[in-house]
């Protein structure tokens, strides 16, 4: 979300292939893990900075390009890919 703050975005639509995370952010499921509760608190607090915030579930099979990009970016030993 930090990039969206820097760009002064007013509307944000986030996508996740995790139904659990989407449901927790939407308030449909309760977060029980301590780490997840901290993450959820941060997301909810930051989402209030936008005029409009949405989060949507994208099935993993429909999210293969983003998944491949994240795996490529995290596969470099120093964490800095030469190009993507």
Please tell me the pTM assigned to this model.
0.68
Specify whether domain 2-58 bears CATH 3.30.420.10. Answer: yes
Q: What is the pLDDT of residue 29?
A: 94
* Block residue for tokens 């930051």: 46
pLDDT tens digits for 43-52?
999 999 899 9
Alpha carbon distance 42, 29 (integer Å): 16
Domain range annotation of the chain: 2-58
Q: Give me the mean pLDDT over the 61-83 stretch.
A: 70
pLDDT: which is higher, 3 or 78: 3
Q: What is the pLDDT of residue 62?
A: 80
Alpha carbon distance 3, 75 (integer Å): 23
């Amino acid at each position: 979300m930090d990039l969206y703050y820097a760009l002064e975005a007013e509307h944000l639509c986030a996508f996740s292939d995790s139904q659990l995370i989407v449901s927790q952010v939407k308030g449909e499921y309760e977060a029980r893990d301590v780490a997840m509760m901290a993450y959820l608190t941060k997301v909810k607090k930051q989402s209030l900075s936008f005029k409009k915030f949405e989060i949507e579930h994208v099935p993993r099979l429909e999210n293969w390009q983003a998944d491949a990009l994240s795996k490529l970016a995290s596969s470099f030993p120093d964490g800095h890919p030469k190009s993507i």
